[in-house]
Amino acid sequence: MIYPVVKYGNPVLEKPAETVTVFDHALRKLVEDMFESMYAAHGVGLAAPQIGIAKRLAVIDISFKEDPKAKLVLVNPEIVRTEGKQRGSEGCLSLPEFREEVTRPLRVTVHAQDATGKRFETSGEELLARALVHETDHLNGKLYISHISALKRDLMKRKIRKLMKAGEW
């Protein structure tokens, strides 16, 4: 099932999501649906709040279907280590059409659980590091626009308000 992606302005995107405690069939179905929804939206990462579900769950595939091993399911992820810095363009499916330069760590290590509840550690650099912090931020109610200047953020918000008024958001 493909869920529509919730856009900026919906409060679910700006509150911390709840820890996942039940690892059942429904969770695994939700994970499948999240991959399907992410691919349908042409994204490389999707957090559950972005489909209106306030749970600490995210999926990532920076290969966009090219490499099955790149599919990453993160349940209750925590960033445990960051190293270095990278600056680059970043977007979000909940803020369509916008992109901004964002400084992120170059290497990131995460502790998380998989869809069966098994704990694991994973690390990534460059685009994967960016995706790991971006998606974990979502689960803490944080969007990438909190990492850009107030001036750029206000400009973006003004543009979004205009789009909302025009019924285009």
5 binds Ni ion (CB under 5 A): no
Q: How far is the CB of 53 from Ni ion (least distance, A)?
A: 14
Tell me if 30 sits within 8 A of 68, measured CB to CB.
no
Those residues with Cβ within 8 angstroms of residue 69's Cβ, 6 or more apart along the chain or in another chain: none
Beta carbon nearer to Ni ion, 92 or 115: 92
Between 53 and 117, CB nearer to Ni ion: 53
CB of 67 to Ni ion, least distance (A): 21
C-alpha atoms less than 13 angstroms from C-alpha of 137 in its C-beta half-sphere = 16
Size of the site for Ni ion (CB under 5 A): 1
Q: Under a CB-based contact definition with an 8 Å cutoff, are residues 5 and 51 in contact?
A: yes
Question: Judged by CB under 5 A, which stretch of 53-61, 90-98, 104-112, 117-125 contacts Ni ion?
Answer: 90-98
Q: Is there a contact between 59 and 45 (Cβ–Cβ < 8 Å)?
A: yes
- Asked if 78 is an active-site residue, the reply is no
Residues in a beta bridge with 82? 108
Residue 59 binds to Ni ion (criterion: CB under 5 A): no
- Cβ-contact 114, 103 below 8 angstroms: no
Check residue 92 for interaction with Ni ion (CB under 5 A).
yes
Q: Closer CB to Ni ion, residue 13 or residue 112?
A: 13
Residues at the interface with Ni ion (CB under 5 A): 92
Q: Which residues are marked as active site? A: 135
